[in-house]
Amino acid sequence: MSKKKSLRVTEIFSSIQGETSKIGLPTIFIRLTGCPLRCQYCDTSYAFYGGEIMFFEDIIHQVRQFNYTDVCVTGGEPLAQPNSKKLLKDLADLDFQVSLETGGSINLEEIDERVKIIMDIKTPDSGEATKNRWKNIELLKKSDELKFVICSRKDYQWSKEIIEEYKINEICPILFSPCSESMDPRDLAEWILTDQLSIRFQMQIHKILWDNQPGK
């Protein structure tokens, strides 16, 4: 690890993982600053600007203050800072179980194979569907996960078509999350069951517990 490497960081904290197949596990979160997207439902807009420049060794020192092995690098959009890929590798080298949350608009090439990628596909109601980098889908591993935030019946139908077009069920697990501002989660759950989709329905339990409080 080189002290020359640095990243702009909004916060480093521990919480309960609220999403993905690791839902419920105590996890260390490294929230990097900056994002090229402006999704209409974004719940971390405070990470668009500001933050603190931190050297890698200082980031890792803070991470080691927590007695957990799961580390999630999130944002904002972590990949908006090129050095994030090196941080992911350094964390994996230290035997952390590393995951990356990304909006899917930036190239996933050169991400360490040990890193679990959680990638969004932006739906039409997000306002950012034109930014999806479709070539990223073919870069995903079986251990990665692909997430759709569903805001409406239109989003749901569109997402089903994308899953079929790209044969995503053959690539990696799929996550459907109801948009908390516009989607009744019971409706989404019923649609999934009616259509017999092989996907994971999820709700953000950290929001249920702490109502989207920063640092939680």
The average pLDDT across 119-143 equals 98
Residue 130: CB atoms within 10 A of its CB come to 8
Does a structural domain hold residue 173? yes
Does a structural domain hold residue 15? yes
Does a structural domain hold residue 215? no
**Residue closest to 119 by CA, chosen among 106, 128, 92:** 106
186 burial type by CB count under 10 A (0-12 exposed, 13-18 middle, 19+ buried): exposed
CATH assignment of the domain containing 65: 3.20.20.70
The whole-number pLDDT of residue 1 equals 44
User: Residue 16 pairs with which residues in a beta bridge?
Assistant: 26
The whole-number pLDDT of residue 2 equals 44
Does a structural domain hold residue 216? no
Does a structural domain hold residue 73? yes
| pTM exceeds 0.85 for this model | yes
End-to-end CA distance of the chain: 28
Does a structural domain hold residue 147? yes
Q: Which domain holds residue 18?
A: 6-210
Does a structural domain hold residue 59? yes
Q: How many domains does the chain have?
A: 1
Q: Strand pairing of 52-55 and 6-16?
A: antiparallel
Cα–Cα distance for residue pair 206/50, rounded to 1 Å: 24
Does residue 9 contact residue 52 with C-beta atoms inside 8 Å? yes
Query: Sorting pLDDT into bands at 50, 70 and 90, what band is 3?
Result: low
Cα–Cα distance for residue pair 190/58, rounded to 1 Å: 46
pLDDT top residue among 33 and 4:
33
Residue 152 pLDDT > 80: yes
**Residue closest to 62 by CA, chosen among 72, 54, 74, 70:** 54
Does a structural domain hold residue 1? no
Does residue 13 contact residue 192 with C-beta atoms inside 8 Å? no
